Structure 1
Amino acid sequence: MATEMTVELVAVEERLWSGSATMVSAQTTEGEIGIMAGHEPVLGQLVEAGTVAITSADGERRVAAVHGGFLSCTGAAVTILAESAEFAEDIDVEAARAVLAEGSDDPEVIAIAKGRVRAVERA
């Protein structure tokens, strides 16, 4: 049985990550899902203000904040198509926390800030 799968993390504006991985976990509207090579095919809707964690074939773990989108698994490949996504190490967590502290009339701005903070905390 294969222990690796092809994974792509794509946001509307760019491909953030592509390569071989041993594990992917994501927050979907049905709950958190963990996917390893050979997983049954599945399609899931990503939650607003969610996170995705990818463990690459060389053991590196990358966590990204994702905002909306879908996850598709074929058993040999996982594709994550997000409305927006950014890796935890690229996030200005203090700015995200400031948005949460100040509040906003725009629920999408709040959701994106929550996702950013979650990604940094999970990294």
Structure 2
Amino acid sequence: MASSSAGSLQVELVAADRVVWSGEADEVSARTVEGDLGVLRGHAPLLSLIVPGVVVIKAVHGDTVRAAVIEGFLSVADDHVSILSEEILLEAEIDTDKIQHEIDQAKAEEDYDAVRRAEAKFRTIGKAV
């Protein structure tokens, strides 16, 4: 992995089937089992479990990347942040009709973990559940 520019983090969002996003960022925030976590340059090494939720990456060039992450791992070491998950969807990839169908189906099956995962996708696009 290439080293990051002075003052930035090197970030990778990796799903089971693809690298979703990779680049330099000023800040990364995610929800872990311990609570909400923000990562800036110089953060102490860390390995944590991510719960279904929204990852926000403030990219170096001013863009903000928002992604729904379905359980996974967050690793921080030497200004490198890796987020690994079975499924990661960028904000632009989220289909609200499909998510509503997932929620309805999960509720019918009383699969409340699946409901939480689908609701995290709605939170990514700022839609109330």
Whether the TM-score (by the shorter chain) exceeds 0.5 is yes
SS state at 1:109 partner:
helix
Q: CA deviation at 1:50?
A: 1.3
Structure 1 SS opposite 2:38: strand
User: 5+ unaligned residues in a row in structure 1: which ranges?
Assistant: none
CA shift for structure 1 position 99: 3.6
Match of 1:114 among 110, 119, 123: 119
Residue deviations 1:9-64, cap 9 Å, x none? Answer: 000111001111100000100001000111111111000x2111111110100110
Count of paired positions: 120
Q: Counterpart in 1 of 2:74?
A: 71
Which has the larger displacement, 112-121 or 5-14? 112-121
TM-score calculated relative to the size of structure 2: 0.84
Residue 91 of structure 1 corresponds to 94
Residue 26 (1) aligns with residue 52 (2)? no
- Deviation of the 1:111 alpha carbon: 2.7
Unpaired runs of 5+ residues, structure 2, are 1-5
Tell me the SS of whatever aligns to 2:55.
strand
Percent identity for Structure 1 against Structure 2 = 35
Q: Secondary structure of the residue that 2:114 maps to in structure 1?
A: helix
Post-superposition offset of 1:98: 4.3
